[in-house]
Structure formats: structure tokens, C-alpha cells
Structure 1
Amino acid sequence: MARALKVAAAQVGPVHRSTSRAEVLARLIKLVEGAASQGVQLVVFPETTFTTFFPRYYITDDKELANYYEYETEETGPVTETKNVKEFFDHAKALCVDVQVGYGEDTGKGRYNTAVYVSGATGKVLNKYRKVHLPGSTEPFDLEPTTTNQLEKRYFLPGNFGFQAFRASSLKEHCGGTSPIVGQLICNDRRWAEGWRCYGLQGVEILCCGYNTTAYAPQLWGGDQNISREKAYEEAMFHHKLVVQAHAYTNSMFCITAARAGNDDGRHPLIPGSMIVDPEGHIVAESKTEDDELVIAVIDLDDCKQGKERTFNLGKHRRPELYGRLVEGGGVQPPPDE
């Protein structure tokens, strides 16, 4: 294995609305330590890792809402230096483990659903990504406390960094002297083909994606609200795996997906499904629980070559001159009905 890496998806179990930041950090640090003890070089954590998934709630208390974000400005420095979470990043650096982790970012001028990739060798942020495809709405459709709302459009601005790949120079020595090419997505982004193709066109070899995906929220889906919990869970897991496996295959890259899983507050279930998928779309490792868990695999980045050079040789087989419709408009434009 010429360009071998040992990687992990760090699944995180239930984090309740009342769970303290200190408790969450202790659990995350334990996962990093467990990964380092097994020789892992890169660990991918979920979306909004440091808190519960707060966009499910209609929050009117500004002080509570502010607590779910990391305040990150030019004056405060990067998230790795903010007082709430610095301890986590310091541990990752001490263990020399690269981490990708998601969080709510407050710039003082706007709030975003963000993920950073941080070098274990230097503790520096190598890349920052902001979630592009925000689901849900700005207003709650139901104020019943047991209802799972989806208010990301209320609490976040759409990401404005686009889909910019980067080199994980911190992993260069493990990959035959060539730094891996990495891309990032967050949760709902994985359902949209456009981001994946943008990364495929940059030669991405490792796609990192953290997510929080509800296992049962019939009010969100519309249609049949009498769907059983078992069927809803089955459908959510099916679609999660479908899009990750398909897009990893069609863009010839590995994908590491990390879930916030379990039943938050006893009434907001989230699917697990943390997994590592290879460039042929096969699941090579996946979670077995809905709790804190490391999903570990050794991957060889040279396995991306077959797809990139043959089946999905984008430079050889694409016809971009015919794809204008993909960027000409944002919605469906059916042909005229004569």
C-alpha cells in the first residue's frame, strides 16, 4: 500500500440540550486518545460536534442561543484558540492526530454551520468549510416541545466559501511524499451532487463529512405522517448510504462520514451510519452502535486511480459544453407543454 493512511470516523452518541460543554469535550478527547492509541492519523467528527443539534429547537433566549456558537473573529483568532474548545484541539495536537470537526461559527457579522480541518503536526487550521445547502425553514412549523423542527435557515447563513479542496500537508509523510487532496461537506450537502463534482474536478481523494440526520420527524417530510418509526429509520439510513456510496464512486474518492447519533433528550432520534467508503462505493467499515464509537480503516489513496484515470476520467469523458443548464438557474424549468 504505497499511499496508506489509517483513518477514523468518530461517531458521537446522544448530546442533550442540557449536556455541558465540559462533558462533551471530555468525550471527544477520549475518542481522539482512542484513535491515537490505534495509530490513526486522521479523525473525522460530526456536524456541530461540541453541542446538541440546536437547530431542531425554536430558541428565543439570546443567551442560550449564543452558547451554541464558537465566537471566532480576527481579534479572537481561529476556533482552535477559543476558550470553550481549545482543550480539544490541544489534545489532538499533542497526539499528532489530524481532526476535522464541525461547530456553529459566530464571526460577529454572521453565523455559519462550519467545519475545520486541523493539522495534528502543527495545530493549524488547514481549511475551513461552511455548509452550503441549508435545509428547513426560518420559522418553526410546530411549537410542540416533542416536535423536531429544522431551523438551520434561521440560525445560519449559507456557506460562502464554496467547495475548495486543499492539501493535507500534515499527512504527506504517510502518503509516499505526496499530500492527500481533501474536500469537506456537512450533512445535507452530501445529498447534492454539485459539491461532490466540484471536488471530483479538483482530484479530491478523501472527502470528510459530519452530519446530524433525524431518524424520525414525519412533520419535516410532509406526505405520510403516519410512517412508522422503524420505516422512517430504514429510509433515513438507506438514503444516507445511497448518496455517500454513489457519489464516492462517481468521483473516485474515499469518504469518511461521522454521525451525531442516538436519541437526544429522549425524543429526537438521530441515525448512526458512520462509515468509511472506498472509491468503488463499497463500505469498508461502519458503526455498530448509536453511541460514541470509532470506525477505523486503513485506506490506500492509490485505489482512487482506477476511477480517476479510467471509468470517471473527467478530463477525457466529460462534455461541459452541454452542461450549461446546471448553473443557469436555481430551480426546475420544464419544457413547454404544447
Structure 2
Amino acid sequence: MRRQLSVAAAQVGGIQPGETREEVVRRLILLLEEAAARSTRLVVFPELTLTTFFPRYWAQDLASTDRWFETEMPGPSVQPLFDRARELGVGFYLGYAELTGDGHRYNTSILVDSTGRIVGRYRKIHLPGHARPVGDEQAPQHLEKHYFEVGDLGLGVFDVDGVRIGMCLCNDRRWAEVYRVLALQGAEVVVLGYNSPLGLPGWQPEPHHMMSAHLLSLQAGAYQNSLWVVAAAKAGVEDGAEMIGGSALVSPAGEVVARATGTGDEVVQTVADLDLAAAYRAEIFDFEAHRRPDQYRLITERTGRGAPVPVPGQVPEPLTGHGPRIATTTQETR
């Protein structure tokens, strides 16, 4: 019998600043119930699911923003989601802002199994945006580096009802190293939530937030690491910012097998064939047979771009200015 996992991305339409935790959780429970009615066993919610995307606002005093953070999980307002998930026998992934007892702030996600037990926690590593306002302090911003510390838990893989699940968040999905580190730990499925704005009021659309770039990141990560990827978005218009949406599920073949059709609350579901990756892992992406970690040292030794590394035994040819001829006409480049 083939191993399968019925899994869903629970896309959430924009959450406005005035919505309470209780209101948001009621929306999440409705999505959870819809997914369960389709026999889903794992539901993936977005990044910072419980609030609006507050890092778009500048606040000099972080203590004044404590209302956006969770000091316990589950707290009283989120407990009903845990209770309903346990009743339905459905696991879930949830992103939120975490304030620890000793004052650290993280962009966090948790993984909960079908019994309602937290089995995994991840704190976002690749924080985008800025630590200080850009231009007018009152204008919409992207200030994750101001609000959050870089995650301190690493990239983990957890067992959820017999399936190896890797976790990441939003901007992490654009970094190839994330998928590879999770795949090397045996991940069969990577789950992630995101809040990606197409633009902000007064801003032009961001090229790196276009739908094609978003899907490319998911598809490349899935195919090159022989795993499933489940990505759940905030979507629609949130506090004046248009979110790209595009919640999707991608197979180990790099194919988008299911995708959101709208920009509101929506369940995007599929039955993931966990054995589909076997052929890829046995041949083209047989890590043990084909990877050459000794050749990849630069990935961990260097953060930014730099000069080429000399190849042992080869002497670089001098630059003469007379390189190979490059075809410039349509006829020559066909």
C-alpha cells in the first residue's frame, strides 16, 4: 500500500488591525472544519496568522507592540483551535509572533499533531526588510528586522503521525539551502506560511513578490530535494496592502498540483503520495551517490558575493579584452 497524506493549505484573507484574536481563530476553525470534511489530516495556516502583518508599522518602543505577540501557546484565545483540531483528529501548522519569558521576540511557527500536542517549533531565520524606517516613518514599511530576532532553533524536521515534516517561514522559501538542509534530515513534506505583499501603498509592485517567482521557489525546492511543499498565504487586501496569495501544493516532480483560486479564506487540498519521491531519491537526486559536499564549502564559509575561488592546478588566463565572439543577431543565436 502506498503511503499517503491528505494535506491542505488554509489560505487566510486579509486580517485587519481591528480584528480580535477570537475573531481570527473562529475563521481558522471554519477552515479547519472544511479541511476535515475533505478527510484532511494536516492543515497548514499562514505566517503571523493571528494578527495583521504588524511589521509594516514603525514603533520606536517595542514594548508598545506587545499586543501583537503571544506569550504562551496556546493562550486562552487560541485554545479553541487546539480543542477543535483534537476533536477532529487533524494536525496543523500555525505561524504567530512569539514573545518569550525572557524578552526575546521571534517570528515563529508550530507543528501540532492530531492529538493536539505541539511536536515542533521553528523560529524564522531569513528575516527580510529593514531594522529602521525607510523614508517617512509613517508610511507602510517592512520592518521584520526591527521586530524579530533571527531564529535560534535551526531548521528542524519532526514526526507528525508517521510523516517527516520540515518547517520554514515566508522568505525562507526563497533560499535553496533551507530545502536542502531539511531534505538531508529526511523531510518528506515541507510546510510553510507566508505574508508576501505585492506592494504597499505608494510602492510599486516588488518583482521578487511576483507570483512566478513565488511558485518557482516552491517548485525548485520540491523537485531538487524530492519532497512535497505546502505553502499557505495571507491573501487579499490587508490594511491597505495587497497580498499576493497563491497558496499552493507542489509535488516532488516540481508540479503545482493544487492552488488557490481566490484571494479570501480558502482550503487548498490534495492527497500527497509520499512514495512518489522514491524514484527521484533513488536516481537523479540520490544524495549519497551524487552529492559532493567537499565542493560546496563556500556556501557556509562566505555570506556575500566575492571573488572566484582559484581552481587547484589551473592558472587563470590573463584578461586580454579579446574574449570569444558572442552572437548578436537573431539568426546567429537560434
Query: Fold match, TM over 0.5?
Result: yes
TM-score, normalised by the number of residues in structure 2: 0.88
Residue among 157, 164, 169 paired with 2:149: 157
1:218-259 deviations in Å (ceiling 9; x for gaps): 98xxxxx6x5x5xx5896111100110011100000000000
Code of the residue aligned with 2:142 in structure 1: it is: Q
Residue among 283, 286, 289 paired with 2:262: 289
1:269-294 deviations in Å (ceiling 9; x for gaps): 10111011000100000000000000
**1:48 match:** 48
- 2:79 paired with 1:96: no
**1:205 match:** 188
Larger CA deviation: 203-212 vs 60-69: 60-69
- 2:297 paired with 1:315: no
Code of the residue aligned with 1:286 in structure 2: it is: R
**1:29 match:** 29
- 2:229 paired with 1:255: yes
**1:195 match:** 178
For residues 326 and 235 of structure 1, the distance between their equivalents in structure 2, rounded to whole angstroms, comes to 25
For residues 304 and 188 of structure 1, the distance between their equivalents in structure 2, rounded to whole angstroms, comes to 25
Code of the residue aligned with 2:308 in structure 1: it is: P
User: Could you tell me how far 1:142 is from its partner in structure 2?
Assistant: 3.1
**1:3 match:** 3
Q: Runs of 5+ in structure 2 lacking a partner? A: 310-317, 320-334
**Cα distance change, pair 60–23 in 1 and its aligned pair in 2 (3 A):** farther
1:144-196 deviations in Å (ceiling 9; x for gaps): 64x4311111111001111121211x2xxxxxxxx211100100000011111
**1:143 match: secondary structure:** coil
User: Could you tell me how far 1:334 is from its partner in structure 2?
Assistant: 1.6
User: Could you tell me how far 1:71 is from its partner in structure 2?
Assistant: 0.2
**2:131 match: secondary structure:** coil
Aligned 8 A contact 1:58 1:143 in 2: no
Number of residue-to-residue matches in the alignment: 310
User: Could you tell me how far 1:56 is from its partner in structure 2?
Assistant: 1.0
Aligned 8 A contact 2:129 2:145 in 1: yes
For residues 154 and 61 of structure 1, the distance between their equivalents in structure 2, rounded to whole angstroms, comes to 10
Code of the residue aligned with 1:48 in structure 2: it is: L
TM-score, normalised by the number of residues in structure 1: 0.87
**2:109 match:** 115
For residues 134 and 228 of structure 2, the distance between their equivalents in structure 1, rounded to whole angstroms, comes to 37
Residue among 104, 114, 119 paired with 1:126: 119
For residues 88 and 9 of structure 2, the distance between their equivalents in structure 1, rounded to whole angstroms, comes to 17
Residue among 208, 216, 219 paired with 1:242: 216
Q: Runs of 5+ in structure 1 lacking a partner? A: 73-78, 171-178, 220-224
For residues 54 and 258 of structure 1, the distance between their equivalents in structure 2, rounded to whole angstroms, comes to 18
- Give the structure with higher Rg (CA): 2
- 2:113 paired with 1:140: no
User: Could you tell me how far 1:108 is from its partner in structure 2?
Assistant: 2.5
User: Could you tell me how far 1:143 is from its partner in structure 2?
Assistant: 3.2
For residues 208 and 169 of structure 2, the distance between their equivalents in structure 1, rounded to whole angstroms, comes to 21
For residues 235 and 6 of structure 1, the distance between their equivalents in structure 2, rounded to whole angstroms, comes to 28
Code of the residue aligned with 1:120 in structure 2: it is: S
User: Could you tell me how far 1:59 is from its partner in structure 2?
Assistant: 2.8
CA RMSD of the aligned region, Å? 2.0
**1:328 match:** 301
For residues 68 and 201 of structure 2, the distance between their equivalents in structure 1, rounded to whole angstroms, comes to 26
1:64-101 deviations in Å (ceiling 9; x for gaps): 511111103xxxxxx13x22311111111111100000
**1:298 match: secondary structure:** strand
Q: Percent identity?
A: 41
